[in-house]
Every structure is written in structure tokens, then in C-alpha cells.
């Protein structure tokens, strides 16, 4: 049997010099001995997957609610798609895949029920108490709300994973984050552009033909037709969506490889100071923005989605008010939390953890 390779030896053998090596991690708030065969970032990834908040992602909407059937993405499947695309990019660039996966699985963990509609409603409810952001809430979950260890609250994740998530909160003036963090950010946008196109067409909000005149999607559609000839509408949609992802992933890897070759960063820190950020090429980015503008107008602002949005916001605000009047309707940990962080914040944290259906059920029960 071959001798097992230590985590450090394995990373030194595989990763590029500009990757984040786990033996250079700044560690955890509560120091812990290293695991015999899992890297620190791999443990972070596993801790997130075992968290209760993680499991509830399956009941949280991405763009479409469960009323529309079971075809479309949930917050969970979106997250898995982001992780897989991010890992593809990270592996090709020889970055730390364990760190990438942990960051990807964490990135939307703080989403409240009903997606951005829910987030905006909670932000309004908490306007006088520090507001609400799903990105910040992900940190509250992994640092305070998840109670899985006898010694401390939270998951005690590495500082690299926590600070990677912090960079999502306020990007203004912030230092350039690790390449692994930038990969996840880029993969997130590749993922939602592609799957929102897929879901919107499949659910009949937009016809695939309408994308023909939209940059990026239109180019991809022409290329698919040239290559395959006539396809059924269903197969055309699937092929276009797959090619849409592939074109962007190939572009990011090529653009980044060029920048890496030109600047040759010798460490993860040097890559952050190299004067560029990871992403798709400017030419493709231009087309991608046009696709996003189309999705915004035709999908996210679709009358049906706006109706779902206002219903969700009305429910969530009403539930928030009700729970403030009757805090004993909350589970005990949140009643205790109210003593530490104040009632409004504790109610917000409780609601933010709900799935869409549980939120609706609580609204029916209390409103």
C-alpha cells in the first residue's frame, strides 16, 4: 500500500504557488489540532454541509417559488452548481479546491425565505436595528447560531473562509481577496445567468427565441444551431444553457492564465497585489452585462415574480410584527437570543432561518 500523503505534501504537489495553502492558514478563533487526513478547509466544507442551515437551503427559493413545480433551482441546487463550476475553474488554475468548495457552499447560507424579496423585507423591518444582509447573516449563522460543539457557538471555521465571506458584504475600498474567493464570486454569476435563463424558458416566462437577439446567449444559440442543426426546443434550451456556462468558464480560465503568466505571483498574497482581478475577459463581460440586463427586465421584473415578491414581503413583515408582539411563539433559543441581541434582531434571525413553506405556515398560524 502506498504511504499516505500528508495534506501539506499533497497541496505542495498539486497547487500553484499563488494558491492559498492550508498550512499557511491564519487558523481558527478557537485553536484546534489538525485532522489526520482532512485539510482545514476540507473540514470547513464538511462543517457547512452538516449545519442545519445548510439543509434548509433546499426549501428556500432562488428565483421561482415552489408553486411553479419542481423543475427549477432552489437555493440548494444553485449552491451546488456554483460549487461545481467554481471547482472546475479552481482546479484548472491549480488553486485550493477545498477552500473554494467551502466558500461556495457558504456563500448563500444566510439567505432568508423568498430570496431577495425576503431579504429586502427583513432589511426594512430591521432598518433601525442595523439592517439585514444575507451575506452578513451567513457569518452570523456560522459564528453564532449553529450550536454543534460543546465548547463554543458556531462552526469555528478558518479565518480564510470567514474573511472570504466578509468580502461579499462590502466591496467598496476592500483589498483584493484571495483568488479562491474571486473564483467563487465569478462562478456565482456564471451560474445564475445560465440557470435563470434555463428556468425562465422552461417555465414559460420567456421564449428561447427571444434570447436570439441578446448578446452572449444569441451567439451561443447560433453556434449550437450551426453545430447540431435542428434540435427540439427542449434539447436546444439545454444545449444553449450548457454552452453558455462552458463559454464563460473557458474564457475565465484563459483570461486568468494570461494574467498569471504576465505577473507570475509567487504567493497567494502576491496574487492579491498583482494589480488585476480574476474574471471573464472584458469583451465577454460586456456581452454578459447585456444578458443580465435582459434577464432583469424580462425575468426578475416579470409581473408574476413581482406579485410573488409583494406577497412574500407582506407576509414576512406581518410575521415579523407578530413575533415581536408574541416572542414566546419563537423557539427557546431565539427567546434567549433576544436577551443578548434585542428582540428585533432575534426575530429577524429566526425568520431568516425559515424555509419558504415554514414561513408561510407561521404566517398562517400567527397573522
Exposure letters 180-214 (e unless 16+ CB within 10 A, then b): bbbbbbbbbbbbbbbbbbbbbbbbebbebeebeeb
Give, as ranges, the residues between 243 and 282 that touch Mg ion (CB under 5 A). Answer: none
Q: Nearer Cβ to Mg ion, position 101 or 108?
A: 108
Give, as ranges, the residues between 149 and 188 that touch Mg ion (CB under 5 A). Answer: 188
- Report in angstroms how near the CB of residue 79 gets to Mg ion at its nearest: 7
d(C-alpha 21, C-alpha 346), whole Å: 37
Beta carbons of 247 and 85 less than 8 angstroms apart: no
- Report in angstroms how near the CB of residue 12 gets to Mg ion at its nearest: 32
- Report in angstroms how near the CB of residue 211 gets to Mg ion at its nearest: 22
Q: Nearer Cβ to Mg ion, position 97 or 188?
A: 188
Instruction: With H, G, I as helix, E, B as strand and everything else as coil, classify residue 67.
Output: helix
Give, as ranges, the residues between 185 and 214 that touch Mg ion (CB under 5 A). Answer: 188
Show Cβ contacts of residue 200 under 8 Å, excluding neighbours closer than 6 positions.
Answer: 63, 206, 295, 298, 299
d(C-alpha 207, C-alpha 180), whole Å: 36
- Report in angstroms how near the CB of residue 188 gets to Mg ion at its nearest: 4
DSSP state of 300: I
Taking only Cα atoms into account, the Rg of the chain, rounded to an integer number of angstroms, comes to: 22
- Report in angstroms how near the CB of residue 237 gets to Mg ion at its nearest: 22
Q: Nearer Cβ to Mg ion, position 22 or 191?
A: 191
- Report in angstroms how near the CB of residue 108 gets to Mg ion at its nearest: 4
Q: How many residues bind Mg ion (CB under 5 A)?
A: 2
- Report in angstroms how near the CB of residue 119 gets to Mg ion at its nearest: 12
> What distance, in Å, lies between the first and last C-alpha atoms of the chain?
64
Closest CA to 110 of 101, 122, 99, 98: 122
- Report in angstroms how near the CB of residue 116 gets to Mg ion at its nearest: 11
Q: Nearer Cβ to Mg ion, position 132 or 334?
A: 132
Site track 73-112 with Mg ion (rule: CB under 5 A), x = hit: -----------------------------------x----
Beta carbons of 313 and 351 less than 8 angstroms apart: no
Alpha helices (H) along the chain: 7-14, 40-49, 52-56, 75-92, 97-106, 115-125, 134-140, 159-166, 179-202, 217-228, 233-263, 268-272, 282-295, 303-325, 332-341, 343-352, 356-366
Please give the residue ranges that form the binding site for Mg ion (CB under 5 A). Answer: 108, 188
Amino acid at each position: 500500500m502506498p504511504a499516505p500523503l500528508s495534506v501539506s505534501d499533497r497541496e505542495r504537489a498539486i497547487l500553484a504557488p499563488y494558491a492559498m495553502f492550508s498550512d499557511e492558514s491564519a487558523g481558527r478563533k478557537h485553536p484546534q489540532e489538525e485532522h489526520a487526513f482532512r485539510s482545514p478547509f476540507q473540514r470547513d466544507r464538511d462543517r457547512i454541509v452538516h449545519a442545519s442551515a445548510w439543509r434548509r437551503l433546499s426549501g428556500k427559493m432562488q428565483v421561482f417559488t415552489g408553486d411553479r413545480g419542481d423543475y427549477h433551482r432552489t437555493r440548494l441546487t444553485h449552491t451546488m452548481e456554483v460549487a461545481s463550476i467554481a471547482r472546475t475553474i479552481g482546479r484548472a488554475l491549480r488553486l485550493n479546491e477545498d477552500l473554494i468548495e467551502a466558500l461556495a457552499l457558504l456563500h448563500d447560507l444566510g439567505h432568508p425565505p423568498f430570496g431577495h424579496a425576503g431579504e429586502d423585507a427583513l432589511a426594512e423591518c430591521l432598518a433601525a436595528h442595523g439592517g439585514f444582509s444575507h451575506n452578513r447573516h451567513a457569518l452570523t449563522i456560522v459564528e453564532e447560531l449553529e450550536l454543534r460543539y460543546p465548547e463554543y457557538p458556531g462552526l469555528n471555521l478558518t479565518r480564510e473562509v470567514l474573511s472570504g465571506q466578509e468580502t461579499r458584504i462590502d466591496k467598496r475600498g476592500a483589498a483584493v481577496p484571495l483568488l479562491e474567493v474571486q473564483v467563487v464570486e465569478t462562478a456565482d454569476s456564471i451560474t445564475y445567468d445560465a440557470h435563470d435563463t434555463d428556468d425562465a424558458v422552461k417555465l414559460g416566462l420567456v421564449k428561447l427565441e427571444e434570447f436570439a437577439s441578446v448578446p452572449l446567449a444569441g451567439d451561443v444559440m447560433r453556434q449550437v444551431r450551426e453545430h447540431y442543426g435542428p434540435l427540439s426546443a427542449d434539447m436546444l434550451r439545454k444545449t444553449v444553457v450548457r454552452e453558455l456556462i462552458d463559454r464563460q468558464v473557458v474564457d475565465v480560465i484563459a483570461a486568468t492564465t494570461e494574467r498569471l503568466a504576465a505577473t507570475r505571483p509567487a504567493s497567494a498574497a502576491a496574487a492579491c497585489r498583482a494589480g488585476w482581478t480574476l474574471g471573464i475577459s472584458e469583451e465577454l463581460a460586456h456581452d454578459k452585462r447585456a444578458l443580465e440586463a435582459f434577464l432583469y427586465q424580462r425575468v426578475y421584473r416579470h409581473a408574476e415574480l413581482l406579485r410573488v415578491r409583494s406577497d412574500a414581503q407582506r407576509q414576512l413583515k406581518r410575521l415579523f410584527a407578530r413575533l415581536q408582539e408574541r416572542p414566546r411563539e419563537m423557539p427557546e433559543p431565539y427567546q434567549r437570543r433576544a436577551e443578548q441581541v434585542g428582540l428585533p434582531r432575534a426575530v429577524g434571525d429566526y425568520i431568516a432561518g425559515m424555509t419558504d413553506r415554514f414561513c408561510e405556515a407561521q404566517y398562517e398560524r400567527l397573522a
